[in-house]
Amino acid sequence: MPHFLTGWRLHLTTLGLCLAVFLVNIEVTIVSTSGLAIANDFHGVHKLGWILTGYLITYTGFIIPWAKSSDIFGRKSCILASLVIFAIFSGACGAAQTINQLIIFRVLQGIGAAGGWALAFLFVYGMVPPDKYPLYGSLMAADVSIANLAGPLVGGALSQPKTWRWVFLLNVPAGLVTVVVLAIAIPNGFPFHKNYSAKNMVNRTTGYFLSKVKRLDLVGATLLLAAALLLSTGLLEGGIQWEWNSAPSIALLTISGLLWIAFFWWERLVTMKEEWPQEPMFPWRFIHNRQWMGVLLSSLLNGLPFYIFVISIPQRFETVNGLTPIQTGIKLLPYTLVAAFGAVFANGIAATGKIAPIYIMFFFSALGTVGAGCMTTIPSVLEITPAIYGYQVLAGLGIGGTYGMAILYVGHVVERRDAATGSGALVEFRILGGALGLAIMAATIENYLKSHLGPLLPADTLNALLKTSTVIDTLPADVRIAVLTVYADAYILLWRITTGFSAAQFLAIAMIWKNPQIEVMGKEAPGMAAET
């Protein structure tokens, strides 16, 4: 049975986990305002989507493997290893000399980030009793939102040819400090540290290492990573490097679909074959748990609009309205700041025990959908419409509050044996939604620009514009205004698509419906009580 942390260990571990969550999440939003400057510096705006999505692909693909590995090799060793990997490749990103190098290092950086993100949430379910989940859920959700808040500001401040490398280099000392804090605070053998024996641990590590490796679902992890990679590649490159109806596009998307089918088939097989040593990444019993599948799908559909808005709004301000990166970061505050408040506010309502979480989720999901819909009404003009700030508030409040509730559900709808996989899956689905959202964003913007700017610009000018947005400043005044109007229209189309995904959350949340409704206060978490 796990033993909860108390005193200085609890406080110091909480601090270390918050630092870890902050660092791996700021790396997503920090590129929202610095990404365009980085891509322009490398003359690779056409590959900007990969700077964003490359990180999220491995972030997505390795969340559950890290969570499962922690069941086998221990929570402490896994989170320390993941943060070391994150710090090393953050430094490599800062030293990159080409955009292709940067993309590769971002992909490797995402492997470490996945562990820091997933394991931080998993620690909560082992270090405090169930009645503290709303408090720590609020803390983690607020931490994520603060990272999303700080990212655009820091990225904007560092978006210069000589300073953008610090966007990544700052993670090196910060990551090492986090590793030291957690190494000191987390007891060996956590969460079973009361029964921990150094001698027995050495014997287990040396004598059963291969048997531990056999417990890892390496086939499932490979299938998941390959499926996500090919799907993102098909969406990012479709209509850009090749036409949508071309052989490469069809092949990538088809193979990705087959790999997704193979992944779920394999997970079902591993779950059913109890004599097999592998522990499934995605237990088939999840499929039969309607409430849990509703939480996961809600998380995926929440990630799509969140990451699309946090990247596209600053880009719109910078390209269409001509703002500096730091100005765009400031003007994104209504969205990121309120998203942080929304997560805390939603958990605070749930903590009263007076309203079931599903009703809170419906309410905040409605706010997010209304906010996304309002964004589509912004006129395609070069001046900033003040209403956009109010629309950001609605969207941020709704998206933040909805995800805050999803986090709270983990300990109440999955069994204890699935705590690691469940918390990993929740994060995985949201980041997968973000990766797909950014791929859709890149494909939508690029294809819209190519189809609508063709009549306005010569082919060589258009190709140059798609590589670096600084070309806009060299155009004649009348052509420049026409080009910027097309850019504005492209973002309106993107936000219409985003509104559709936001509205789809209602169907996912409806799957959580249960009579009586799942409660989170005043009762022991049923899922966590399933095994002791």
Q: What is the pLDDT of residue 220?
A: 86
DSSP structure class, residue 472: G
Q: Which backbone phi and psi does 189 adopt, to 5 degrees?
A: 85, 5
- Where helices occur in 238-356 by DSSP H, the ranges are 247-272, 290-319, 325-331, 333-351
DSSP structure class, residue 280: P
The residue behind tokens 């069994």 is 415
Instruction: Identify any residues that bridge with 242 across adjacent strands, giving them in sequence order.
Output: 238
Which structure tokens are listed for 288? 């039969």
Which structure tokens are listed for 160? 């210069």
Question: Model confidence over 356-405: pLDDT tens digits?
Answer: 888 989 999 999 999 999 999 998 777 888 899 999 999 999 998 898 88
What integer is the mean pLDDT of 63-69?
78
CA 394 – CA 497 distance, rounded (Å): 17
Selection from 324, 445, 328 nearest residue 392 by Cα: 328
CA 44 – CA 49 distance, rounded (Å): 10
Query: Averaging pLDDT over each range in 154-163, 170-179, 269-278, 323-332, which range is the top one?
Result: 170-179
Question: 0.85 exceeded by the pTM?
Answer: no
CA 167 – CA 410 distance, rounded (Å): 33
Q: Are 83 and 181 in contact (CB under 8 A)?
A: no
Q: What is the pLDDT of residue 206?
A: 47
Q: What is the dihedral sign for C-alpha 93, 95, 101, 104?
A: negative
More confident residue, 206 or 364: 364
Which structure tokens are listed for 105? 């290092």
User: Poorest-confidence range of 37-41, 78-82, 186-190, 408-412?
Assistant: 408-412
Q: What is the pLDDT of residue 240?
A: 62
DSSP structure class, residue 385: P
**48-61 and 63-73 helices cross at what angle (nearest 10)?**
30
Q: What is the pLDDT of residue 226?
A: 87
Q: Are 273 and 407 in contact (CB under 8 A)?
A: no
Give yes or no for residue 207 having a pLDDT over 60: no
Q: What is the pLDDT of residue 181?
A: 93
pLDDT band at 532 (very low <50, low <70, confident <90, very high): very low
Q: What is the pLDDT of residue 280?
A: 82
Q: Which backbone phi and psi does 238 adopt, to 5 degrees?
A: -60, 125
Which structure tokens are listed for 221? 């992890």
Q: What is the pLDDT of residue 199?
A: 47
CA 371 – CA 402 distance, rounded (Å): 13
Cis peptide before 516 (omega within 30 of 0): yes
Give yes or no for residue 91 having a pLDDT over 90: yes
Q: What is the pLDDT of residue 195?
A: 58
Cis peptide before 191 (omega within 30 of 0): yes
CA 19 – CA 79 distance, rounded (Å): 12
Residue type, 398: G
CA–centroid distance for 93 within its chain: 19
Question: Model confidence over 463-510: pLDDT tens digits?
Answer: 888 777 778 888 888 888 998 999 999 999 999 999 999 999 999 999
CA 354 – CA 132 distance, rounded (Å): 17
Which structure tokens are listed for 420? 């690691």
Provide the mean pLDDT of the chain.
82
pLDDT band at 2 (very low <50, low <70, confident <90, very high): low
